[in-house]
């Protein structure tokens, strides 16, 4: 039969990346666009959508931006209909939008806990539910959930995030179970520690020239001995969005430089 490299191409596909305005989301959308997909993204604020549209334009991607909240089921359903009429049926959904609140469990309010669960777990459920009917109609679809190493491991101060990301791992497996027969593949990407503007303070050199303590901790825990970059997620997301991964379903692909394989350096 032979292998056709075109199976990695996404020409003619519409890819929606939630929260694809900066960082990891923007990097993944850039890769999907380079592979031929038409990019759609959202944010809750019009000014962020406008800024991102300009950034996409600068890198040669004609993206489509929409303002909605992934936890608002009515707004999501209306916008998915709007995208369908203005851009096309969504072939690829990347559930990237999410938040983290680093608060010790005994100090965390139930309200804060619920907000993290709502955005990081209910949001992907609402988004997936909105796009699956179109995928069923087309006879194919790809859903990629942004999981985390906290889908597998706990850590101080992230009880809500770990609960949400552990739930998202199982939602991924369940969407696979329910819609695999319909040629819909639902997989997860679990990034390791990624160097973005949001994590920059954790990598600042100390006054004596030494590494930040958290930076030292991550480097010691990572066999690759470095932080990841948004570019490290680009190949994996294109693979999971493409026909090259048609028999990969319910899988979480950890892009973590080997952290989950490693017990860590002996002190």
Question: By the 8 A CB rule, do 124 and 98 touch?
Answer: no
Is 22 marked active-site? no
Nearest CA to 86 among 125, 137, 38? 38
Nearest CA to 56 among 14, 20, 107, 95? 20
Handedness of CA 27, 144, 258, 245 (dihedral sign): negative
Handedness of CA 55, 76, 85, 29 (dihedral sign): positive
Question: By the 8 A CB rule, do 160 and 265 touch?
Answer: no
Radius of gyration over alpha carbons of the chain, in Å? Answer: 19
The single residue of 161, 193, 254, 262 carrying the catalytic annotation is 161
The neighbouring-strand residues paired with 143 are: 93, 186
Residues with catalytic roles? 161
């Amino acid at each position: 039969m032979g292998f056709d490299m075109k199976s990695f191409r996404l020409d003619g596909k519409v890819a929606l990346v939630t929260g694809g305005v900066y960082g990891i989301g923007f990097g993944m959308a850039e890769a999907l666009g380079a592979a031929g997909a038409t990019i759609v993204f959202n944010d809750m604020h019009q000014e962020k959508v406008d800024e991102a549209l300009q950034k996409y334009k600068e890198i040669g991607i004609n993206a489509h931006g929409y303002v909605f909240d992934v936890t608002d089921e009515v707004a999501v359903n209306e916008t998915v209909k709007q995208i369908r009429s203005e851009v096309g049926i969504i072939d690829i959904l990347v559930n990237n939008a999410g938040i983290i609140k680093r608060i010790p469990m005994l100090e965390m309010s139930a309200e804060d806990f619920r907000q993290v669960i709502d955005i990081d777990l209910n949001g992907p459920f609402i988004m997936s539910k909105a796009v699956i009917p179109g995928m069923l109609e087309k006879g194919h679809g790809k859903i990629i959930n942004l999981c985390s190493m906290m889908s597998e491991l706990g850590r101080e101060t992230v009880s809500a995030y770990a609960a949400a990301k552990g739930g998202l791992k199982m939602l991924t497996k369940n969407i696979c179970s329910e819609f695999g027969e319909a040629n819909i593949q639902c997989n997860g990407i679990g990034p390791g520690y990624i160097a973005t503007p949001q994590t920059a303070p954790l990598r600042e050199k100390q006054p004596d020239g030494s590494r930040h303590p958290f930076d030292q901790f991550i480097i010691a825990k990572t066999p690759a001995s470095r932080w990841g970059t948004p570019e490290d997620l680009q190949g994996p997301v294109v693979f999971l969005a493409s026909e090259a991964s048609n028999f990969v379903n319910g899988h979480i692909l950890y892009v973590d430089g080997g952290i989950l394989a490693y017990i860590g350096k002996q002190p």
